[in-house]
Amino acid sequence: MYKEGYDLRKNYTDCGIIIFDKERQETLSGGSGCACSAVTFASYFYPKLKSGEIKRMLFIPTGALLSPVSSAQGLSIPAVAHAVSISS
């Protein structure tokens, strides 16, 4: 996004950061992209949208496309992300 002229650093957060406590939990490489994004949107962001605290957001959950074969190959892992613009 930054390369395309969008600086999200001020407003960006990671769903795993919202769910897990890095001081008290050893999360290593984080949580599942699918689970973290669904849980975080439903429990954290949706209430803020409903209350008007958040007026507009760009929600871009990401996920790695893992399989037993791709994991064993030692190559880079492809990923997918769908951007959803949400307004209250």
- SS3 of 8-30: the string is CCCCCCCHHHHHCCCCCCCCCCC
Q: 85 pLDDT band (50/70/90 cuts)?
A: very high
Stated as kind and residue range, the H or E segment containing 38 is helix 33-40
Task: Tell me what the mean pLDDT of segment 22-35 comes to.
Answer: 70
Q: Where are the domains of the chain?
A: 2-87
User: Which tokens sit at 49?
Assistant: 């949208």
- Across the chain, what does the average pLDDT equal? 82
Distance CA 6, CA 26 (A): 32
Reported as a single tens digit per residue, the pLDDT across 50-70 is 999 999 998 988 877 777 777
pLDDT band at 82 (very low <50, low <70, confident <90, very high): confident
What share of residues in the chain are helix, strand, coil (percent, to 5)? Answer: 40, 15, 45
Mean pLDDT of 30-40: 75
